[in-house]
């Protein structure tokens, strides 16, 4: 018996379908001198977002796993927009890299204005990381959780920052909710949509917990569906999936510049100042699926995430 079915509303599904075809609001305000951190910035949504923020004067710190592509991005940004662009190399399939990136950010000698969690992966077959965790869950969710957890005191002391998850309407595919007792997919049938949706559901559940911690601090945290846009997501899978993606998905997909436009609006616009714990389709607020709003699961996920994170957190860091 699915405990969430009775909570579903067709109006929310209708809003999603309508908003998927919309165009995001635009923001043209200057962002000169502010530091923006973006993970996964060498292609697709992250790349276009980095360029858009830089075009408005923002200084960039990007976290990527490929040095050659990161160096190319750095040179391009600094040449085209005359703003600093630094990079830090981290592979989110390795928790030691995630913790190192989190420590680096926590020890920065300046404020972080906007933190955008964009790095992600989509797998059609079950894979495990060097840390023996399911890869999609670790890269798409746990890495961002660890970084937020490590940074939350720094951001709170800043008294102003915006955290944005690049989330997905795909969280709605996990109709039965997040199965915390089976995160290794030993009892469930593994599919790409379900694993991806589970990770995005976890992001939303953690977002509400972080939002509660940041109340009255000037720090906000929100999530955004980036639209059905053309990216390299899923290109790591086999020939059959890539054939399907190029034949059925890419032809109707839109430009990731729209996603960047939405991420700039959510990161900069005065219209969303103080707005926190919300899910947006581009720049239109939506109500997430019921299973992504379950406070009991959110609390359990918090403790599971601390354990999976692989570090002895202090009591003050554990509380949220």
The residue behind tokens 């990731």 is 256
Q: Extract the tokens encoding 241.
A: 């999936």
Which DSSP state fits 254? B
Which pLDDT value is given to residue 248? 43
Instruction: Domains for the chain: give ranges and CATH numbers.
Output: 29-309 (3.40.50.720)
- String of DSSP letters for 42-102: SSHHHHHHHHHHHHTT-EEEEEES-HHHHHHHHHHHHHHH-S-EEEEE--TTSHHHHHHHH
CB atoms under 10 Å from CB of 195, counted, come to 28
Three-state SS at 181: helix
Q: How much is the pTM?
A: 0.90
Q: What is the DSSP string of 276-310?
A: -S-EEETTEEEPPPGGGG-HHHHHHHHHHHHHHTT
Q: For residue 119, what are its two tokens?
A: 């790095």
User: 219 — alpha (psi -120 to 50), left (phi > 0) or beta?
Assistant: beta
Residuewise pLDDT in 10s, the chain (320 residues): 677 777 777 777 777 777 777 888 999 999 999 999 999 999 999 999 999 999 999 999 999 999 999 999 999 999 999 999 999 999 999 999 999 999 999 999 999 999 999 999 989 899 999 999 999 999 999 999 999 999 999 999 999 999 999 999 999 989 889 999 999 999 999 998 999 999 999 999 999 999 999 999 999 999 999 976 445 544 455 554 444 434 444 444 568 899 999 999 999 999 999 999 999 999 999 999 999 999 999 999 999 999 999 775 544 455 55
Q: Is 38 helix (H, G, I), strand (E, B) or coil?
A: strand
Q: Helix, strand, coil shares of the chain as percentages rounded to 5?
A: 50, 15, 40
């Amino acid at each position: 018996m699915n405990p969430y079915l009775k909570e579903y509303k067709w109006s929310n599904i209708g809003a999603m379908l309508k908003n998927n075809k919309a165009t995001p609001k635009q923001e043209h305000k200057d962002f000169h001198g502010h530091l923006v951190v973006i993970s996964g910035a060498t292609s697709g949504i992250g790349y276009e977002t980095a360029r858009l923020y830089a075009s408005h004067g923002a200084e960039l710190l990007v976290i990527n796993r490929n040095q050659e592509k990161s160096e190319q991005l750095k040179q391009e940004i600094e040449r085209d927009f005359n703003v600093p662009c630094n990079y830090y190399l981290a592979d989110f399939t390795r928790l030691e890299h995630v913790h190192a990136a989190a420590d680096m950010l926590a020890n920065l000698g300046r404020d972080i204005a906007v933190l955008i969690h964009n790095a992600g992966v989509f797998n059609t077959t079950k894979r495990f990381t060097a840390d023996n965790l399911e890869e999609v869950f670790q890269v798409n969710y746990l890495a961002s959780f660890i970084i937020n957890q490590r940074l939350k005191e720094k951001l709170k002391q800043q008294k102003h920052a915006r955290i944005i998850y690049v989330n997905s309407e795909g969280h709605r595919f996990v109709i039965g909710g997040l199965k915390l007792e089976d995160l290794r997919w030993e009892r469930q049938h593994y599919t790409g949509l379900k694993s991806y949706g589970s990770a995005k559901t976890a992001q939303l559940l953690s977002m509400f917990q972080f939002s509660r911690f940041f109340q009255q601090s000037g720090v906000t945290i929100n999530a955004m569906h980036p639209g059905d846009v053309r990216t390299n997501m899923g290109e790591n899978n086999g020939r059959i999936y890539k054939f399907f993606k190029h034949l059925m998905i890419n032809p109707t997909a839109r430009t990731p510049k729209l996603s960047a436009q939405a991420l700039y609006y959510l990161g900069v616009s005065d219209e969303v100042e103080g707005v926190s714990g919300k899910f947006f389709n581009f720049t239109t607020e939506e109500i997430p699926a019921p299973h992504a709003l379950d406070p009991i699961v959110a609390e359990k996920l918090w403790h599971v995430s601390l354990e999976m994170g692989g570090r002895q957190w202090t009591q003050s860091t554990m509380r949220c």
